[in-house]
Chain A
Amino acid sequence: MAHDSNHQDSHHPKHGFWRTYVFNTDHKMIALWYGITALCFLLFGFGLVMLMRWQLAYPEQPLPLIGKWFGPTRMPDGVMLPEFYNQLGAMHGTIMVFMGIVPLAVGAYGNFLIPLMIGAPDMAFPKINLASYWAFFIGGVVMLASFFVPGGAASSGWTSYTPLAVIATTGQTMWIIGMIFLITSSLLGAVNFIATIFQMRAPGLSFMKLPFFIWAQLVTAFLLLLAFPPLEAAGVMQLMDRVAHTSFFMPSGLVVSGEHLKISGGGSVLLWQHLFWFLAHPEVYVLILPAMGIISEIIANNTRKPLWGYKGMVYSIVILGLLSFIVWAHHMFITGMGTTISAFFQATTMIISIPSVVILTALFISLWGGSIRFNIPMLFALAFLPMFGIGGLTGLPLGLSSPDIQLHDTYYVIGHFHYIVAPGTIFALFAGIYYWFPKITGRKMNDLLGHLHFWPSLICMNLVFMPMMIQGLAGVSRRLYDGGASYAHAQGVLHLNVLMSHAAWVMAVFQIPFIINIFWSLYKGQKASDNPWESTTMEWATATPPPHGNFAFDPKVYRGPYEYSVPGATQDYTPQCQEKVI
């Protein structure tokens, strides 16, 4: 801003389109940009996997209609090349995790709601906030551009294991550079989130009065702050290995395509895996904690009663955050790192499942005795609970080192984490969009279209991911170009590939009602009041849409976040910033 950034007045009479929309440092505008960009990436990442599902269901058959568009280097005559399949797989994972869910769950939700929920006028560092968005955007562009360099995009999985990733084509270099931008974005965002929550809470809003959503964002921000830098370090070393031909991750005596590599050697292959999973296990909690936060708000609001065990949930999420730094090597049980190390990480993994179960159980018990309103956000929230439950429970056998020998790198693992991130996190993100849409736009989303989105998605999710568990138990490996067609032991479960692919495509079709709903409701949706869900938290206490600076009054907090159905009150909700119970 041209004027003193300490005093940001809200009149921008001379500011045209660019200042109002693109370089606006208002947290709500940045959140919207994050949200829109991330939703586009999610759709794109979903598109990649729909292509892969064709190849898995119908290996080496030409893809009808659109197959020829991809050109001879990717799909000659519409038949997918294995190299292209690998690019799709690696980029699907990268895009969904780092460019879809994290920017949406953290960048969009956190940015929009943190200042509003804690009664602050903006984030602590508005310009850094804007920089964080643009770093994310540039990282995304680099990732997408990597499809068009010679050899195509990165193809060594979202995990980029070495030495494979070091000898891969240029796309991998682009992947590292893109990741460095995305990591920078997350770091800037994390600093901002933590500083805002610590420094700018409204008077009276002590930590134990924070909405659970804020706790979830706070812990998430710490995970991003402390877990991402080691991946950045690893990325720099992999970049050195690729560009300067060092041997950080390259063992001696490596032979590639019959040729002895001319490198100094002596590097450690496992070092990459340790550094990667040191980030990536906390990262899976980055994917799930904001979702838990969203679900908690929606459940408290729609059961019209306080969350059961709020304090226990808070302690659990903090412990979860701490423990998530010492479980990473459960992804490496069969790498030969040794049984002593395995035993340690198996123990910590079992321990960390306790706080997850505490949170889930508290949410289930919260439903008990509530007069539940089954609106669209609540439907998604209710579906989240059992879906996350399945995802979590299937993680337990993976966390024990002996069953993991059988299950590692099979479709069972894919089923496990997709239950958590797809009908888990993504459903929570949908729930949040339906829930907070009225605050952003002043209109509610359409119910009928919402049902048309929710029910088919729920059914298809299970049809896509449950069969993966079966295939995995039968021993089908993940990352197979033909979905197991050339393996004898996979023959009995091969037909499931067709079912899963069709379910995925049908699911795609039923995302259309959601997209229509967003645009239709923007102009034609039922008009909503400032607090249409009769909620207690502070984002509903200000005008819709919230003005620049968020609150026209000085917000003060008098009570905890979930004062629903207070005995003796005539109104079944008592907002946090309302002085008297009425």
Chain B
Amino acid sequence: MSSGTSSSSIYVLPHTVEPNPETGLFNAKLGIWLFLASEVMLFGALFSSYILLRVSSVNWPLGSTILNIPLGTLNTMVLISSSVTMVMAWASLKMKDFGKFKLYLGLTLLCAFIFLIVKYFEYSAKFHHHLFPETSTYMAIYFTLTGLHGIHVIGGIIVNSYLWGPGSKMWLDQPERFTNRIEIAGLYWHFVDLVWIFLFPVLYLL
């Protein structure tokens, strides 16, 4: 087949920037919402498994006796702050202030790194006390859920670093599209934050 070579027409994909009047969304925004729906199912399955395993267990430990609540609280604060700075980054672009954008997205990245560093210390403390995933089903679900969440944080760092660094060149020639990109990166980041807000009480407090 010769697609890609046969005609000389130039085409434009509709609704990459301007919203579709029917759905009120531009393509990528619908795309990210769909992706997040699948993420809800992913973490939903894990949370359901947690409930099922917990109710069928005879001796489920209390999370607060094993995990470090102050560190967990700190990390919750850090992530919530990063969500706020993420919104500020987007708002700065809306107000055409590229410098502020750089600052706020940079702060978001900083928070993400702080989160991971704190997590690293928590993990090493557990290993130090010989608490491994195989130790108990509680530890297993703790490491699986926080590990998967950590991978999502790393994914967010990669995307946001790109948008902070080389990807931000788009601001010069397609400012609107770039603003949209920050918006959907933000939606993802809020989701990652939201997952943690569920994880923290479920694993640390209950």
Contact = CB atoms under 8 A, between A and B. Distances in A.
Our verdict on whether A and B bind, yes or no, reads yes
B10 A9 contact: yes
A195 B177 contact: no
B31 A7 contact: no
A232 B7 contact: no
Given A20-B5, A124-B13, A545-B2, A191 B39 contact: no
A547 B45 contact: no
Given A7-B10, A195-B27, A246-B134, A226 B53 contact: no
B49 A275 contact: yes
A107 interface: no
B34 A194 contact: yes
Interface stretch (B14-22, B74-82, B121-129, B190-198): B14-22
B134 A244 contact: yes
B27 A236 contact: no
Interface residues of A, number: 66
Nearest to B30: A195
B3 interface: yes
B3 A29 contact: yes
A233 B45 contact: yes
A32 interface: yes
Contact of B1 (A233, A263, A545): A545
Contacts of B9: 10, 547-549, 552
Interface in B1-50: 1-17, 20, 22-23, 25, 27-28, 30-31, 34-35, 37-39, 41-46, 49
Contacts of A125: 27-28, 31
B38 A226 contact: yes
Contacts of A121: 11-14
Contacts of B56: 268
A545 B1 CA distance: 7
B38 A440 contact: no
B135 A228 contact: no
Nearest to B134: A245
Nearest to B132: A244
Given A6-B12, A225-B37, 9 more contacts: A6-B16, A6-B174, A10-B9, A32-B1, A121-B11, A187-B38, A199-B15, A266-B58, A271-B53
25 contacts: A4-B173, A10-B4, A12-B4, A20-B5, A24-B3, A26-B4, A121-B12, A121-B14, A122-B11, A124-B27, A124-B31, A126-B13, A187-B38, A191-B35, A195-B27, A230-B42, A232-B45, A237-B46, A246-B140, A247-B140, A248-B140, A248-B141, A271-B53, A548-B4, A549-B11
